[in-house]
Structure formats: structure tokens, C-alpha cells
A and B are shown apart, each in its own frame.
Chain A
Amino acid sequence: MTYLAKPKLHHPDLPKNALGLTRRDYEGTISTLCAGCGHDSISAAIIQACWELAVQPHRVAKLSGIGCSSKTPTYFLDKSHGFNSVHGRMPSVLTGANLANRELLYLGVSGDGDSASIGLGQFAHSMRRGVNMTYIVENNGVYGLTKGQFSATADRGSKSKRGAVNTDEGIDLACLAMQLGASYVARSFSGDKHQLVPLIKGALTHPGAAFIDVVSPCVAFNNHEGSTRSYDYVRHHNEAVNSLDVITMHKEITAEYPPGSLQEVRQHDGSVLRLRKLADDYDSSSRIAAMSYVQSHYARGEIVTGLLYVEPDAIDLHEHLGTTMRPLNELGDKELCPGSAALAQFNASLR
């Protein structure tokens, strides 16, 4: 952290997006996390992704729970809506907000404590309901705010800073999300923005429950020898299965790749997820194959990253429930109180 505000001055050639905004316009206040925290890199990646997509800041709602990761929404998108919920309860607040106004872009930011421990149940149900959101877990494997105890995602056998060995099995949130029905599941690393930024862009444009597990080293408590969440360990064991380009409707497709190495996924909104295979035997369109690949590589000590699974024809919560197409705050008396004839007709349908 630092006591100084980041100077407003910026590079004279800083580019502007379609809205005429620079990347700096998507920043928040200066971070108070520890120096070198992976979470700050994820915040920078979210800023970059929102700038590249030319997202209107006031059309975004960022929600979080409690923890180091859940503090980070303060550090990006300061012109967006925000809600800092009770510990582990971000998914239900997000679900409620989404039901009330389906037109906003929902960004849930959580940590391994917030989502895999106290909020595991909430996490599970928001995934299986297919809430249209981008759910990012900043996963460092420790409870940083309480001095570095193992979290529920810490790998069995990994060592704490003081030498204690973790004997509990770690929860793989990405596999859990796939199993629970999330329609866009990715894993990435805070130290690799080339991979992370497109994954966030893909998640923001995905019309269903999108989940990204981002390995984010805790410099203060989990960046030592024996840790499986340190910068060095993740760099050495990172196995990227594909690389993603997100092509929005307005952008012309220019890059060329050898045939067969590309997979294109067209989404509802017209955007295209262009996947370049890095692992020949990886198939991101099969949920079961993806889970099995991730698990078998995990057994070999590898961390599989990239877009693990995507379902282009995802159906979200609103479609399941058949709710109105308009945000509730736009409905007038006429729609909300359709009159006694309509009521009589409705009652008759139940008889």
C-alpha cells in the first residue's frame, strides 16, 4: 500500500476507447493491500478488460464479500455501482440484484475464504442457477487478513510459511463450478495478464454464469518454498490449454492462424470467443472431458489454466424463471397492477 494518491497525470499517448475514456478512467482509489499482492494485478486486469470492451462504467455492478479480495472493488471502476456484502453472501446479493435489474453487468469478486469456506453453499447455488454474472475468485490459498492460515483451496501437502503441512484436501473451485453447471469456466494466474485480460473479457460478454479462478499469490503469507500458490511455483507448473481472443461485434477479424488450431465460439450478443489450442488433446466444449483433464493434470502437480469450459448457448436464471425482459424499476403501475380482469383470469388459471 501507499499513502500517496496515484498522480492523475498519465502518459501523453494513452489511448482512448470507443467511449473516449482512457484506461485510467476505469481505476478506483489507490490500493491498501500489501505491496506485491496478486489481487492488485487482477484489479489492473479487470480495468484493462472493461476499458477494452468500452463498458460504460455506470452499467456495471461490482459486488463482493469479506476478505482481502473483497476489498479490491474499491480499487477499480470507481464510477460503477458497488455492494460490499456480509462474509460469503455476495452470490445471493448478486442474484437478487440481477433479478431486479437484468440489464446491468454483474461482476462478483470474492476470495478462496469467502467462496470456498463460509460461502461455499452460496457459491454452489449461484452457479447451478446460472446467474448471468462474472464471478472472479482471487485464490491465494491462505487467509491473509488473519495472518496466513490455510484456506479451503490450499493443496494437500503444501507448506505454510511457518512450516506446517496442510493435511486437508483442497477444493478446486473451477471443477466445482463445472460440475455445478456454470457455462463459462476459466482458470488463470494474476502474473499473466496476457491470458487473464481476454478471459475476463470473455466472461463479461458471456450470457450466463461465468466463473474465473485466478491464482493470486499472497506475498506476505504464501510466497515461500513449499507453497503451491507462490509466483515461482505457479510459473513452473502452469499448463495453459488454450489462448483466447475476444472479438466484439465492432472489431474486424484480422489475425490468421493455421487451420485446425482455432475454435470459434459465437455468443448470443454476437461476440466471438476465438480459442487457439495450446494443448492438442484439450476440448473446451465438453464439460466431462474438461473436468477429467483438469483433475488428471492436477494429480501430476500441474495447474491447468485457460478457458476450461464454455457453453455457447447458455441459458441464464431469467430464462429459467421466465421473468420480465425489463428491469423492475422500469415497470409502471400499468404493468404491476394489470387490473381485476387480469387477476380474475389468473385466478381462473389456477382453479
Chain B
Amino acid sequence: MIVLGGGNTAMDCCRSARRLGGEDVKVIVRSGFEEMKASPWEKEDAQHEGIPILNYLVPKSFQHEGGKLTGMTFEKVKAVYDDKGRRSLVPTGEPDESFECDQVLVAVGQENAFTWIERDIGIEFDKWGMPKLDEKTLQSTLPRVFFGGDAALGPKNIIWAVAHGHEAAVSIDKFCQGESLADRPPPHMNLVSQKMGIHEWSYDNNVVPDARYAVPLKELKLALKDIRTEVELGFDPQLAWKEAQRCLNCDVQTVFAPKLCIECDACVDICPMDCITFTPDGEEAEVRARLNAPSDNASQDLYVGAGLKTGRIMAKDEDVCLHCGLCAERCPTGAWDMQKFYLEMTHAGPGCRSRETPRQAA
């Protein structure tokens, strides 16, 4: 059995094949192992079940005898990158490789096909056959029709599909109320201090350096016997607690109040990641270069506090912050605080409607 493809679907196919009686199952992908689309843990699980993943092999031909599939031939390739970083797979010139098989599962992805939508009902399509949409409202050129998920903007994951569902619901609500779809209220946002005492926070701020704890798995022999058997046993309470300790508390933000700051350097001295600097103001690129630790990730904004007594600014490189809260514990004036960030997206219903719209009489 050969599974073609390197995504999570291919990982599902090969593992299901093992459970349905496939003894010699292998995955063959065009790209390199590292560039495969499948999640690392999915690849790990497939390999754990004795499924080899062979990379840099491009399908060339199927072999068959007497109307029966007997094997496949692959061309060996290598990845070559041009100066723009684009990859092309170039034949290595080595002899082709052949593998025997009696089944091939093709898991190389699917495409949208809207052949079932009549082209004369008012929904326009672009040159790739995708519906023309307003990306924000998800409304098509036929105002009563909305799209979501892979059908809207091409293949993405289920999280995007759910987000599309929420956005489309807001659009439909406003459409039914006769409001402008473009006029959408921003999401609700909140920051709440987590301080409970001088050294006490309502979140666990102790940073542990532990590596990831793997989820215990069912014994391989038993797991492969039955396709309905769940493979991951889940954490027991002790292991779950340990794994939860690794949480980086990304929702807890360091919030700085320049007015309270006396510039004592306590936060600078205690920060384990050297991410806080008090320095004269300047252009961003130049300020980044003279922070206490280099701040190279320009896609992550610097957090800047201005209005200090000395005229300097506080610049914090959020890229490496551990959210340990030691800056706030060491701050004598409470200029630093750890605050939990909460984001609530706008939901369909009265909350998403504009306030100016007069209510209709019941």
C-alpha cells in the first residue's frame, strides 16, 4: 500500500490502512520530510506505527499486469531554492525508484468546484473559479448569498471556518436589519489586573523550563487491531498538571504606567530575558539596535512607554517576554502590572447592530 501526499489527510490514510489490514504501508511525498504539510506530531504518530515516510520522490508511472496494479515508479528529486527563496524540485539524475504495491491512496488535496451553482443567478466568479467576495463581510455579488470556510477564500483550517461563520452571521443579521454590512462594531476587549498581593497573582507565573510531556499512547499492538480504538490515552491528573505548568500565559500582558515610574531600573535588572530598556527616544530601527538585548524580529511591535521624568522612553521587546511578572513584583511603585487580556468577537444579534438604527415597534 502506497499513500501519496504529505498532509494530515495522508497521515490519517496511512494509519487507517494499517488498522484495516494493510501490512506494508508507506507514505511517499514529493517534498522533503521537513516541509511536509502534516503537523509534526501527526508525522511522529505515523512513524511510531511503523509507517516509513519516503521523501523527495515524484510519481512517474503506475505498473500493472493483467489489469492488476503491481507497483509505482518514482523519480528522485532534490530541493533547489532560487535567490527569492522559491523552491523547485529538480531531478537528481539518480535512477528511478520502484515500489511494489497493490493499492495506492491519493491524498494530495482537493479543490473547490462550484459546477453546481448556475452562472446566471448573479454570483460572479473570478478566473480561478472562486466566488467574488467581500473578504470582510463574506458577501457575494448576489447580496443574499454568503460564503464561508474553504469555499470562501480557499483552503484554510477549521478555526478560520468557524471565524467565517461568526462574521457571516453578523453580516446576515445586519443585512436582515437593513443596515450597512461594512459598518461593523469592533470586538470587545478587556484588560484586568491579576494582582492579588505583593507576590501573588491570579495566574501561575512560575516559569518552568520543562520540555513537552508526550501524551501516553495505547500499546501499539492493541491500537492497530481496531480502527475504533482511541490511540491517545490522555494525561493523568499529575502529568496534566505538569504539562499545564508549561503554559506561557500569553494572555497575561505586562502593562506599564509611565506616570508611576521612578526609573529605578529594578525591572531592567530582574528581567530574565533582558527585554526591558530605558533609553532616549529615536526612530524605531535605531532604537531596536541599542536595546539591552538585540531585537531582530521587526514583525513584533516594541512596547513603548513615554512621558518619563528623565525624558527617556521605556522600550520592551515583547518577542521574548516570558510573562513571569518579575518586573511587576520588583516594581516599587506599581508602574508595572500584569493584566489578563480578554477578547470577545462581535456576535450576531442586537450587539452587532448600529445604535442609530431606530428600534422597530414590536
Contacts and interface: CB of A to CB of B under 8 A. Distances in A.
Contact of B206 (A4, A24, A37, A193): A4
B262 interface: yes
A14 B273 CA distance: 9
Interface string A153-169: 00000000000000000
Interface in A205-240: 217, 219, 223, 231-232, 235
A14 B294 CA distance: 9
Contacts of B207: 7, 9
Interface string A1-16: 1111011111111100
Contacts, number: 89
Contacts of B320: 11-12
B330 interface: yes
A7 B322 contact: yes
Given A36-B330, A232-B309, A7 B266 contact: no
B324 interface: yes
A191 B269 contact: no
Contacts of B268: 44
A13 B293 contact: yes
B331 A9 contact: no
Contacts of A30: 270
Nearest to B294: A13
B310 A35 contact: no
A36 B205 CA distance: 20
Interface residues of B, number: 31
A41 B269 contact: yes
Interface string A23-56: 0100000100011111011011000000000000
Contacts of A11: 273-275, 293, 320
Nearest to B205: A4
Contacts of B333: 36
B272 A2 contact: no
B264 A41 contact: yes
B209 A40 contact: no
B272 A10 contact: yes
Contacts of A13: 293-294, 296
Interface residues of A, number: 33
Contacts of A40: 266, 269-270, 330
A3 B199 contact: yes
Interface string B154-179: 00000000000000000000000000
Contact of B273 (A4, A10, A223): A10
B283 to A, nearest CB: 21
A41 B278 CA distance: 14
A45 to B, nearest CB: 9
Tell me the dominant secondary structure on chain A's binding face.
Answer: loop
Contacts of A9: 207, 209, 272-273, 322
B332 interface: yes
A231 B324 contact: no
Interface in B244-281: 262-266, 268-270, 272-275
Given A7-B209, A11-B293, A2 B326 contact: yes
Interface in B214-271: 262-266, 268-270
Contacts of A1: 199
Contacts of A37: 264, 266
A345 B289 CA distance: 69
B264 A14 contact: no
Interface in A158-194: 190-191, 193
A193 B309 CA distance: 18
B329 interface: yes
Contact of A36 (B266, B274, B293, B322): B266
A3 B333 CA distance: 18
A66 B163 CA distance: 62
B255 to A, nearest CB: 17
Nearest to A13: B294
Nearest to A34: B332
A41 B266 contact: yes
A193 B209 CA distance: 30
A6 B324 CA distance: 9
Given A7-B322, A191-B265, A2 B293 contact: no
Nearest to B272: A7
Contact of B329 (A8, A24, A35, A223): A35
Contacts of A12: 320
A13 B199 CA distance: 29
Contacts of B263: 191, 231
Given A14-B293, A36-B262, A6 B331 contact: no
Interface in B104-134: none
Interface string A102-141: 0000000000000000000000000000000000000000
10 contacts: A8-B209, A9-B272, A11-B320, A13-B294, A24-B272, A36-B264, A36-B332, A40-B330, A44-B268, A219-B332
Interface of A: 1-4, 6-14, 24, 30, 34-38, 40-41, 43-44, 190-191, 193, 217, 219, 223, 231-232, 235
Q: Which 10 A-B pairs have the closest CB atoms?
A: A36-B332, A7-B207, A44-B269, A36-B264, A2-B329, A35-B332, A11-B293, A219-B332, A7-B272, A41-B265
Given A9-B207, A44-B265, 10 more contacts: A2-B329, A4-B206, A8-B209, A11-B275, A35-B266, A35-B332, A36-B264, A40-B330, A41-B264, A223-B262
